[in-house]
Amino acid sequence: MEHLLETIGRNLFAIFGVMALGSAAFMVASRSAVHSVLGFLFTMLCIAGCFLALEAEFLGMAQILVYAGGIVVLFLFVVMLVEMSKKSGAQVFQLQSRYAVAAVLIGAALFVGVFRKVIFGAASAEALVLRPGLAQGLDVAKQNAQAVSRGLFADYLLPFEILSVILLVALVGAVVLAKTERV
Amino acid sequence: MVSLNAVLLISFGLFSIGIAGVLIRRNALVILMCVELMLNAANLNFIAFARHSGSVSGQAFALLVMGFAAAEVAVGLALVVALYRKRDTVQVDDINLLKG
pLDDT number for residue A110: 80
pLDDT number for residue A161: 93
Mean of the pLDDT values across residues B5-28? 88
pLDDT number for residue A24: 94
Looking at the domain assignment, is residue B10 inside a domain? yes
Q: Which of A16, A34, A40 to mutate to test the interface with B (most CBs of B within 10 A)?
A: A40
Contacts with B72 from chain A: Cβ below 8 Å: 170
Mean of the pLDDT values across residues B77-81? 90
Q: What are residue A133's phi and psi, to 5 degrees?
A: -65, -35
Tell me how far apart the alpha carbons of residues A46 and A38 are, in angstroms, rounded to a whole number. Answer: 12
How far does the CA of residue B99 sit from the closest CA of chain A (Å)?
A: 17
What string of DSSP letters covers B8-57?
HHHHHHHHHHHHHHHHHB-BHHHHHHHHHHHHHHHHHHHHHHHHHHT-SH
pLDDT number for residue A94: 67
Q: What count of CB pairs under 8 Å joins A to B? A: 235
Extract the residue ranges of chain A whose pLDDT is less than 50: 119-120
How far does the CA of residue A2 sit from the closest CA of chain B (Å)?
A: 20
Question: How far is residue A47 from each of residues A51, A79, A145, measured CA to CA in Å?
Answer: 6, 23, 18
Cβ separation A171–B74 shorter than 8 A: yes
Looking at the domain assignment, is residue B67 inside a domain? yes
Looking at the domain assignment, is residue B19 inside a domain? yes
Q: Which of B63, B79, B85, B88 to mutate to test the interface with A (most CBs of A within 10 A)?
A: B63
pTM (two decimals): 0.83
pLDDT number for residue A84: 63
pLDDT number for residue A119: 41
Contacts with A56 from chain B: Cβ below 8 Å: 47, 50-51, 59, 62
Spell out the SS3 assignment of chain A.
Answer: CHHHHHHHHHCHHHHHHHHHHHHHHHHHHCCCHHHHHHHHHHHHHHHHHHHHHCCCHHHHHHHHHHHHHHHHHHHHHHHHHHHCCCCCCCCCECCCHHHHHHHHHHHHHHHHHHHCCCCCCCCCCCCCCCCCCCCCCCCCCCCHHHHHHHHHHHHCHHHHHHHHHHHHHHHHHHHHHHCCCCC
pLDDT of B78 above 50: yes
Looking at the domain assignment, is residue B70 inside a domain? yes
Looking at the domain assignment, is residue B45 inside a domain? yes
Looking at the domain assignment, is residue B87 inside a domain? yes
pLDDT number for residue B42: 94
pLDDT number for residue B71: 92
Range of the domain at B86: 4-93
Looking at the domain assignment, is residue B100 inside a domain? no
pLDDT number for residue A89: 55
pLDDT of B83 above 90: no
Q: What is the ipTM of this complex?
A: 0.91
CATH of the domain at B54: 1.10.287.3510
- pLDDT digit string, tens, across residues B36-61: 999 999 999 999 888 888 888 888 99
Contacts with B34 from chain A: Cβ below 8 Å: 27-28
Contacts with A125 from chain B: Cβ below 8 Å: 54
How far does the CA of residue A159 sit from the closest CA of chain B (Å)?
A: 8
Looking at the structure of chain B, the number of domains it has is 1
Nearest to A50 among B17, B44, B78 (CB): B44
Looking at the domain assignment, is residue B77 inside a domain? yes
